[in-house]
Amino acid sequence: MMMQGKHIRERTSGKEHRGRNIREGTSGKEHQGRNIGEGTSGKEHQGKISGEEHQGKNIREGTSGMNMKTERKERTYMKQIRHLLSFICVLTCALLLPHSLTLAATGKTDGGNGTAQEPVAAATAVYKGVDYSRVYDYDFYTTHNSVAKRYAGKPEKAIAYFVKYGMDKQHQACAGFDVVSYRFGCPKLRKQFGTDYKKYYLHYQQTGYKKAYYRKRATGITSMQEPVTRYGKIELGAIYDYFYYISKYPFVVSKVGDDDTAVLRNFVEKGLERGRTGKDPGKYKEADPSSKTYAKLKKEITKTNAYDGTGIVVCIDPGHQKQGDYSKEPVGPGSGIYKTKVTSGAYGRWSGKNEYEINLEVSKKLRDELIARGYTVVMTRTKHKVKLSNIDRAKIANAANADIFVRIHANHISESSQVHGVLCYAAAKNNPYLSKKVIKGGQRLATLLRDAQAAATGQRKLDNMYENDMTGINWAKMPTCIVEMGFMSNPTEDARLGRDRYQTKIANGLANGIDRYFKGA
C-alpha cells in the first residue's frame, strides 16, 4: 500500500453483517515511510450463518372446544345425548391433542395443511431462549431415554439435561429427528460439523426442517452415506473405501472415531505409508498396495505435500478498497495510538491496475484453490466498493472463528523502481495485544507463505517484517500475516502481478504454504 499524502476524510458508519454485529469501521491508515500496507477495503462478508432465531410462536395446544349447544327439547333423550357428547369429547381430545403435541414437538407443519399454523414451540422445548422443538419433545424424551426418565415431571430440568449433555450423547429426543440418521445422511454437513453433534441438532432446528432434502434424512438412515474419498485435491476412491478400511482396521475407529474425514486422513497419513489396504483388492486390483495406481497416488500425496483442509476456516482479506477512509482507529485493543482506517492502496503504472484490484483478483483465486482443497473460506470482501477498516476486517475473521487470517497486499516503494520480491508482515515477538501462541503462529505463517509463493513464482525472497502497529493484525485473534506479493513500483513485477496466469501461480503457491502450515511441515 502506498500513502501519498491524501487527506480525504470519509466517514463510515457501522454496518451490520448478516446476523453478527460486526462494526465496520473504517478507513484508511497511514504508513509513513514504509510500504506496507494494511490496507483496506470493501468486503462482503459471506460469513457463517449464525444462529438464527426461531420465530416460533407459542401456539397453544390444543383442545378444541366442544360446543355444547344442546337443545333440550326432548327431555327424554337428554341423558343419552349427554352421554354421547361426553363420549365425543373424549374421542376428540384423544385425537386432537396428540396431534398437536406432535406438531409442537417436531415442528413439522404437516405437509399441505391449509391453515397457516406455524410450527408450534412447546414451552417445554425452549431453553435459555432457544427453541429446540423440532429436535426435542419433553414427553418423548422422558419416556424413551433411560437417563432422561428421571426428569419426568421436571420439564425444565429435562430440557437443560438435553442441551447440556443429551445432544453430545446423540440422544434422540423426539420422534421426528434422530441425529445419527441426520449425520449419516448429510455428507456436506459432516464436512462442516464433523462430530460436533450439537451443530446437527441446531442445523435441523433452524434451517434444515425447511427443506425436503434434510427432512428426508432426519430419521431412518442407519449407515453413513457417501463417505468422503477425496483428500484435498486428490481423489482416492480407486484405492480407498471407508467401510472396507474400518472393517479391516477396526482400531482406526477407536482411535479417531467414525468421522469419515478423520478416517480418510488416517488412511493417507498412516495407511499409505504402512501399505495398508484401503479397498478390497480381490474386487479392485488397483487397490492392492503393490499396484501402480496405489504407488502413483501415494507419490502424488507426498510429492505435493498435499493436505486436506476439511474443518479448517481460512479468512482471506483482499487489502484496501475503492475508496479509502482516512479517519483513524486504534492500532490495537485499548491502544492510544491511532492510524488511518483504510487506504485505497497503490497504483501500478505497468499493470494499469490498482492494488485493491490485484489484491481481490489473487484473493479470489486463492479462495477457489483453498475450497478445492477442502478448506472453508471466508472473505472480508468480494467487491471494491466497501467500507471496511482494518479493525472491521479483523473482526470478520474473529466472527468467522477463522484458524488463520491471510491478508493479501502488493507493495510499493517510491524511492526505487529496482526493488522487487515477496515478503510478509506479522506481529513482532513483544506484541502487546496478542498471545505468544498467536504471535508465533503468525510468524510461522509468514515464513511459510513467503517461501511457498517464491517457490511457485521464482520471485526473490525478502526478509519478513515483524511489526506491532498493524491494526488488522493486532485486532485479530488468530495467527495473521500480510502477504506483500510483489512491488507495483517495479515495472516487471507490477506487469506480472496484473496477469491472470501469474496470479494463479501466486494463489497456488500460497495455498501450498497454507497446507504446510496446517500439516505442521
Residue 39 C-beta: closest distance to Zn ion, Å? 4
DSSP string, 256-268: H-S-HHHHHHHII
**By CB under 5 A, which span of 33-41, 95-103, 226-234, 423-431 interacts with Zn ion?**
33-41
Q: Is 37 in the site for Zn ion (CB under 5 A)?
A: yes
Residue tagged 486428490 (cell numbers): 234
Ramachandran class of 374: left when φ > 0, alpha when ψ lies in -120 to 50, beta otherwise: left
Contacting residue, 119, 324, 332, 345, with Zn ion by CB under 5 A: 345
Which residue's Cβ has the minimum distance to Zn ion? 1
Cell (9 digits) for 106: 417436531
Residue 416 C-beta: closest distance to Zn ion, Å? 18
**By CB under 5 A, which span of 1-9, 78-86, 166-174, 392-400 interacts with Zn ion?**
1-9
Residue 346 C-beta: closest distance to Zn ion, Å? 6
Residue 298 vs 320, nearer CB to Zn ion: 320
Rounded Cα–Cα distance for residues 374 and 360 (Å): 21
For Zn ion, the binding residues in 206-225 under the rule CB under 5 A are none
DSSP string, 222-284: -S--S---EETTEE-TTTB-HHHHHHH-THHHHHH-S-HHHHHHHIIIIITTTT--BS-TTT-
Rounded Cα–Cα distance for residues 452 and 458 (Å): 10
DSSP summary character for residue 485: E
> How many Cα neighbours within 13 Å face the side chain of 465?
17
Q: Is 442 in the site for Zn ion (CB under 5 A)?
A: no
Q: Is 1 in the site for Zn ion (CB under 5 A)?
A: yes
Residue 5 C-beta: closest distance to Zn ion, Å? 16
Q: Are 390 and 471 in contact (CB under 8 A)?
A: yes
Q: Which residues contact 430 (CB under 8 A, 6 or more apart)?
A: 468
Binding mask 399-428 for Zn ion (x = CB under 5 A): ----------x-------------------
**By CB under 5 A, which span of 14-22, 39-47, 223-231, 427-435 interacts with Zn ion?**
39-47
Q: Which residues pair with 480 in a beta bridge?
A: 405
Residue 159 vs 470, nearer CB to Zn ion: 470
- Per-residue HEC secondary structure of 154-182 comes to CHHHHHHHHHHHHCCCCCCEECCECHHHH
Residue 343 C-beta: closest distance to Zn ion, Å? 7
Residue 39 vs 278, nearer CB to Zn ion: 39
Closest CA to 400 of 310, 515, 315, 518: 315
Residue tagged 483442509 (cell numbers): 309
Number of residues that bind Zn ion (CB under 5 A): 6
Residue 17 vs 409, nearer CB to Zn ion: 409
Residue 365 vs 407, nearer CB to Zn ion: 407
Binding mask 88-127 for Zn ion (x = CB under 5 A): ----------------------------------------
Cα dist. 32→393, 414, 448 in Å? 21, 12, 27
- Number of Cβ within 10 Å of residue 31's Cβ equals 19
Residue 482 C-beta: closest distance to Zn ion, Å? 8
For Zn ion, the binding residues in 499-518 under the rule CB under 5 A are none
Q: What is the enclosing helix (H) or strand (E) of 370?
A: helix 355-372
Residue 345 C-beta: closest distance to Zn ion, Å? 5
Q: Is 358 in the site for Zn ion (CB under 5 A)?
A: no
Binding mask 312-341 for Zn ion (x = CB under 5 A): -------x----------------------
Rounded Cα–Cα distance for residues 134 and 125 (Å): 9
**By CB under 5 A, which span of 16-24, 344-352, 425-433, 503-511 interacts with Zn ion?**
344-352
Binding mask 278-317 for Zn ion (x = CB under 5 A): ----------------------------------------
Residue 206 vs 464, nearer CB to Zn ion: 464
Contacting residue, 28, 39, 155, 486, with Zn ion by CB under 5 A: 39
Cell (9 digits) for 234: 486428490
> How many Cα neighbours within 13 Å face the side chain of 373?
29
Residue 227 vs 345, nearer CB to Zn ion: 345
Residue 361 vs 403, nearer CB to Zn ion: 361
Residues near Zn ion (CB under 5 A) are 1, 37, 39, 319, 345, 409
